[in-house]
Structure 1
Amino acid sequence: MKRSSGARLCATAAVGALSLVLITGCSDEGSKKDSKGSSKGSGSSSSSSAPAAKALTAAELEKLLLAQGEVKGYKIDAGDPSLPASKSAVKVDKSACEPLVYAISALPPGDTDASARNTVTEDKSAQAGTKSPEDISESDIEDAFDVTTTLVGLSSYEGDGAEKAMKAVTDSVTACSGGFSMSADGETQKATEVTSAKASGLGEESVAFTVVADMDGEGTANFQVEVVRSGSTVATFYGINLGALAKGGDSKVPAAVSQAQVAKLK
C-alpha cells in the first residue's frame, strides 16, 4: 500500500480532516451471539419469540449517548459540524453502498428518523508539550496528531428494523468491495479498496469493516468502522487517528469507546 511521509500525510490530512470524516467504510466480518453468548458467523440470522421491538425517540437516544466522564481519558463533544446533516446531503455513486456511507457519517444505516450522534476524543491535554515553535520536530508534529476521535451514531427501529439495518450494512459490503465514491457539501471522496476487519462481538450483532481511502493523491489510508446492534438500537463507530496514519498504521475504533457505549444501551 502506498504511503506518503509522516509529515506530508499529516499536513494533507489536517487540511482534509473534516472531509475525511465522510468517506470511510466498506468490508465486513460480522458476529452474532446466541443465547449462550457464543459467536456465530456473519451469515447467520436470528429468530426470537420476544415481542416486537419499539423504537426509541431521538430525545431518548440523546440520553443514551456517552456523556462527559463516562469514559476515562476521553472528552465528549456534541458532534462534528463537517458531518452531513441528513441522508439527503450525501450522494453515493452506488446506491447499494449507501448504508455504509450513512454509518460512517453517523447517520442511521437503516430506515428510521430516530437518531443521535456525538464525538468521543482522546484527551491528552495533561501531556501537552511546552516546546517553543523552533524546537518542534517532525516527530512532534506526528505525535500531536496521534489522537483518536470516534464518531458515534445511534439509531433506533420498530419491530425488526434494527436487524434489517444490520443486514443492509452486511449486504452492501459485497456490492462495495471494489470501492465507491461519495460527495457531500461539494466535495467528492473515493474509497479504492475494501478489506475485512475483525468484529468485536459486542451486542447481539456486530459488523466491522475497513476502507482504503484515497488521500487526494498523497497515498492511501485505512480507516475502521464498526456497527453494533443492541436490541432495537444500532450504534455506529468510526475512528479517525491521523497520527497512526502518518506512521503507516490504520485508524481504528478504540475498544474503550465502543464497549462503554454498547454497555450504556443495555
Structure 2
Amino acid sequence: MKRTSGARLCATAAIGALSLSLLTGCSDEGSKDSVDAKTSASASASTSSSDPAAKALTSAELEKLLLAQGEAKGFKVDSGDDTLPKSKTQVKTDKPACDPLAWATAALPPGDTTANASNSVSEDKASTATAVPEDLEAAFDIDLTFVGLSSYEGDGAAQAMKAVSDGITACAAGYGLSADSENTKVVKVAAEKASGTGDESLAFTEDVDMDGAGTATFHSEVVRKGNTLATFYTVNFAAFEKGGDMGDIPAALITAQVAKLK
C-alpha cells in the first residue's frame, strides 16, 4: 500500500534521523516486501591486521578527514553532528554480537574507541535539475548516506572489522534494536559484495520490519584503511515511501571518502 502524507512528513524528518529505529518509527502504513539481500562474500583482497604500533587519530583529526563540500562531484555534504547519536549507549540491541552492526548503521564506531566523527552525504540533484519535481515522491528520490569515521590503537581496527564480520553471521536470523525509545525488529542480516576499497572491506544488508507490514532492505558497508574505519549506511526516501530496497551505497562516495583516509 502507498504511504499517506503523514508518513511522507515522517520521511522528511527522517532526513535528519540517526538509525533504523527512527526511520521505521515514522511508518504509519504498510510497505512492500523487501528485495532479497545479496549473499556474496564481502572482503577485500587484503585482510592483514592493522599496524600493532598504530596510534589512534583524535576526533578532531577525523573531522578533517570527512568529505567536505566540493570534494565529491555530484554529492552534497552536510554535518551530521546534530542529528546522529552522540553515544553508543543511545543505540541498543537484544544480542551483544549485533551491537557492531547497529553502531555501524548509526555512524558510530563498531569497535572499542571513542575517537569518531560523522556527517551525511546526499546526491546533489539541485545543481542538475531542469524542472521542479512533479510530486513529493520525485523530490524524495535522493540517496542519503550516513558516513562515520573511527580510529583505533594497535590492531583495534582489525578487531572491529572482525566484530562486524562475526555479527553478520551471528545475527543472520535478526535482532531487536532500540534507539531514542523507538523499537525496531531486524528480521534478517546477510553479507553482500563489498566495494573492495581500503585494506579491508565488508558489506551487509538488513531486512527491517515495517511495523508488521512487510520489510525494507537497508545497505551498510565498513571499510578499513590502516587503523581507521569508515562506515556507510544509505537510505533512499522515495524507496522508503514504497518499501522494498532502500538503494545501494554510491560507489563513487565510498571511493572519495576512503581516498581521504591516512
TM-score band, normalised by the shorter chain? 0.7 to 0.9
* Alignment size in residue pairs: 242
Asked if 1 retains the 8 angstrom alpha-carbon contact of 2:17 and 2:83, the reply is no
Asked if 1 retains the 8 angstrom alpha-carbon contact of 2:215 and 2:244, the reply is no
**Partner residue of 2:72?**
71
- Is 2:42 aligned against 1:30? yes
Distance 2:4 2:234 in 1: 17
Distance 2:164 2:120 in 1: 21
Distance 2:174 2:4 in 1: 21
Bigger-Rg structure (1/2) = 1
- Is 2:199 aligned against 1:204? yes
How many Å apart are 1:220 and its aligned residue?
1.5
Asked if 1 retains the 8 angstrom alpha-carbon contact of 2:44 and 2:194, the reply is no
How many Å apart are 1:51 and its aligned residue?
5.8
**Partner residue of 2:151?**
156
242, 258, 261: which one aligns with 2:257: 261
Distance 2:125 2:44 in 1: 35
Normalization by structure 2: what TM-score? Answer: 0.83
Q: Using a 3 Å threshold, how does the CA distance of structure 1 residues 238 and 28 change in structure 2: closer, same or farther?
A: farther
Runs of 5+ in structure 2 lacking a partner?
Answer: 22-36
Q: Using a 3 Å threshold, how does the CA distance of structure 1 residues 185 and 123 change in structure 2: closer, same or farther?
A: same
SS of alignment partner, residue 117 of structure 1: strand
What letter corresponds to residue 99 of structure 2 in structure 1?
E
SS of alignment partner, residue 29 of structure 1: coil
Asked if 1 retains the 8 angstrom alpha-carbon contact of 2:120 and 2:144, the reply is yes
SS of alignment partner, residue 260 of structure 2: helix
How many Å apart are 1:33 and its aligned residue?
2.4
Normalization by structure 1: what TM-score? Answer: 0.82
Identity between Structure 1 and Structure 2 (%):
54
How many Å apart are 1:247 and its aligned residue?
7.6
Runs of 5+ in structure 1 lacking a partner?
Answer: 35-44
Deviations 1:35-66 (A, max 9, x none): xxxxxxxxxx5258x66211111111000000
Alpha-carbon RMSD across the aligned residues, in angstroms, is 2.6
Q: Using a 3 Å threshold, how does the CA distance of structure 1 residues 18 and 146 change in structure 2: closer, same or farther?
A: closer
Q: Using a 3 Å threshold, how does the CA distance of structure 1 residues 71 and 110 change in structure 2: closer, same or farther?
A: same
SS of alignment partner, residue 162 of structure 2: helix
Distance 2:6 2:247 in 1: 16
